[in-house]
Structures are given as structure tokens and as C-alpha cells.
Amino acid sequence: MTNIDILLGAIKEQAEKFLLENGEFAPYATYVRSTGKLTYIGAYSETTDSKELYDILLAGAFEDLKDEDIRAYAIGMDGRYKGQDVLVVEFILSPEDIYRQLYPYQIDDKKVIFGENLFK
């Protein structure tokens, strides 16, 4: 299993928890170390503006990735794309290497079902 697979699993798991508890979520992040250990990251803003939270997490990603033991960083966001609810995942490997994936989801009987990445 690659570091990206590990991060994607963690981001989806956390998104499912937030969606089942609240029906939505603010941006959050996770990074993986060379050992495969995950660290979960939240951001706080007085305004609770999603863009501001995203900017805080992105700045944190660039800072955290200076640690050579951190292999990859991902930010998860709730969004909409072409009329569908989607989990937006940005994988950040460096300030120059940011990759976005979109996973449509449905909440069905206390379970979140994620579709395939829309950006293939």
C-alpha cells in the first residue's frame, strides 16, 4: 500500500465520520510519515470560513513538508461538482506538486458510499 493509498483511506474514513455526525464538514488534513504513521490536523477560524480554513491547512502543509520524514499531506473538503456532493481531496507532495481528486458520495442508511475518482 502506497502513502497515497494510506492517506486516501484516512481522509475517506474521517469524511464518513463527519458526514454521519453532521451531514457536512469543514476542511481538515492528514499527513503520513515514512513509517506509515498518520497525523490528523484540524484548523480553527473565528469566522469558520472554509476558504480561510483551507488556507491555514495549506500553509501548514508547506511548513510540515519541510520535515523530510513526512511523505505526503492531504486536505479533505466537502464540495459539489456538477450537481453531486463530492469529497475533494488534495494530495500535496510539495508546493509545486498538488493533485486534486473528487469522489462523489451518498449517505445511505448510516453509511457513506464513495464513488470512483471523477478526475482520472
Identify whether 120 is part of a domain: no
d(CA 60, CA 14): 19
Identify whether 119 is part of a domain: no
**Contact indicator for 61, 29 with CB cutoff of 8 Å:** yes
Identify whether 39 is part of a domain: yes
Partner residues linked to 60 by β-bridges: none
Number of domains in the chain: 1
Instruction: Tell me the per-residue pLDDT of 1-56, one tens digit each, with 9 for 90 and over.
Output: 899 999 999 999 999 999 999 998 999 999 999 999 999 998 877 777 888 899 99
The Cα-based distances of 87 to 6, 36, 96 in angstroms read 16, 23, 22
Instruction: Tell me the per-residue pLDDT of 67-91, one tens digit each, with 9 for 90 and over.
Output: 999 999 999 999 999 999 999 999 9
Q: Please give the model's pTM, rounded to 2 decimal places.
A: 0.93
Please give the residue range of the domain that contains residue 80: 3-114
